Amino acid sequence: MAFKILLSLILALNAVQFIAAVPTRRAQCADGTTVSNEACCVLLPIIADIQPNLFENECGEEVHETLRASFHDAIGFSRAAGGGGADGSLVTFGDVETTFAANAGIDEIVETLRPFINSHNISAGDFIQFATVVGLTNCPGAPRIPFFLGRPDATAASPDGLVPEPFDSVTKILERFDDAGFNPTEVVALLASHTVAASDTIEPGLEGVPFDSTPGEFDRQFFIETMLKGTSFPGTGGNQGEALSPLPGELRLESDGLLARDERTACDWQLFATDQQKMASAFSDAMVKLSLVGQDKSQLIDCSDVIPRTIPLTNEPYFPADLTKDDLEKTCPDEFPDYPSNPSVTSVAPVPTS
């Protein structure tokens, strides 16, 4: 009897192992593309639409703004105050959320995205996160970020006050992120988004003001240049949330400067300034986590295989003209590399607006 029971267990275990070894059935979409799940086919026409018609196949203004929208939508979640996280409420309830002070200027990308969302059969939450990871593939050096499909439609606007402000203290920023489920290392990783970012609202009268000297590339320059001693403002200066930057035409957020120098985050910041692979990998992991805030991952479909291939980064890190590592304001005791000084980088031009 014991032998029969043992034999049955062995056969059952083998059956389970056999089932687990059977590959997931792949599906062929209408255009002939093979995907891991038939549900992912809906994403292919979206790529064909947004790459030329929204992003113009570039790492430009619309990529920057869509990335900003994905963060402002997803961070709208709090264990205490509620909010749906990455649910598309920024668009669905745009008449409410675009009036929040921290969302200044975001109404333009919300209205730009709306007709694209309306013409495709996925939720606003899915579209914002999907468009973000697709757009980033136009930026050399950016990672290929996984995407999960199936977010339900938002049912309410996010509460106000959940998006960190550039004039917030480091303590307040870390507490806000902790409330949403992120640790300090992940906070710094998410700020890699600023390597392809620009401001339209901090400096009155100035649009497309970059945060580093290579706003069209997903590289380490943002982390490097934020560690440098600030010497000037791109415009009038003295604006709330703005700090001195090391290059004419470059804008530094006060919060970025503080995080680069705070003992709780400085070593993560310096690591990302010195290791492109670790920076990109940490950003990818943090972005996936951000895209799932407020969502049940077990109810979503992994459609990561449809994300376009990324573009390799070819440039090497540098200090701007006449600057060296002696101009860094370091808090972390780790050694910093002797990057060369690039004599051609004496100022930063605005990012062309759409």
158-184 pLDDT tens trace: 999 999 999 999 999 999 999 999 999
Half-sphere exposure of 268 (CA within 13 A, CB side): 19
Residue numbering of the annotated binding site for heme b: 194
| Total domains in the fold of the chain | 1
Using one digit for the tens of pLDDT, what is the confidence trace for 127-163?
999 999 999 999 999 999 999 999 999 999 999 999 9
Using one digit for the tens of pLDDT, what is the confidence trace for 257-308?
999 999 999 999 999 999 999 999 999 999 999 999 999 999 999 999 999 9
Q: In which domain, by residue range, is 308 found?
A: 34-327
Tokens representing 241 are 């949330």
- pLDDT higher than 70, residue 201: yes
Q: Is residue 215 part of a domain?
A: yes
Q: Is residue 3 part of a domain?
A: no
Q: Identify the pLDDT of residue 38.
A: 96
For residue 316, CA distances in Å to 59, 141, 142, 228 come to 18, 11, 15, 18
SS3 content of the chain, % helix, strand, coil (to 5): 45, 5, 50
DSSP 8-state symbol, 352: P
Query: 258 CB contacts (<8 Å, ≥6 apart)?
Result: 169, 170
Q: What are phi and psi of 46, to 5 degrees?
A: -70, -45
Residues 291, 352: Cα–Cα separation, whole Å:
28
Give the CATH number, domain containing residue 43: 1.10.520.10
Q: Is residue 345 part of a domain?
A: no
Q: Is residue 295 part of a domain?
A: yes
Q: Identify the pLDDT of residue 26.
A: 86
Which one of 64, 68, 72, 220 is the catalytic residue? 72
Residue numbering of the annotated binding site for Ca(2+): 73, 85, 87, 89, 195, 212, 214, 219
Using one digit for the tens of pLDDT, what is the confidence trace for 183-199?
999 999 999 999 999 99
Q: Is residue 22 part of a domain?
A: no
- pLDDT higher than 80, residue 23: no
Q: Is 120 noted as a catalytic residue in this protein?
A: no
What's the pTM value of the predicted model, to 2 decimals? 0.92
Query: What is the bridge-based pairing of β-strands 319-320 and 341-342?
Result: parallel
Using one digit for the tens of pLDDT, what is the confidence trace for 204-237?
999 999 999 999 999 999 999 999 999 999 999 8
Q: Is 161 helix (H, G, I), strand (E, B) or coil?
A: coil
What secondary structure does DSSP assign to 218-263, as a single string? -SSHHHHHHHBPP-B-SSS---TTEE-BSSTT--EEHHHHHHHHST
Query: What is the bridge-based pairing of β-strands 242-243 and 252-253?
Result: antiparallel
Q: What percent of the chain has pLDDT over 70?
A: 93
Query: What is the bridge-based pairing of β-strands 148-149 and 198-199?
Result: unpaired
Q: Is residue 79 part of a domain?
A: yes
Q: Is residue 354 part of a domain?
A: no
> Could you tell me which residues are beta bridge partners of residue 199?
209
Q: Identify the pLDDT of residue 238.
A: 87
Q: Is residue 96 part of a domain?
A: yes
Task: State the pLDDT confidence band at 24, using cuts at 50, 70 and 90.
Answer: low
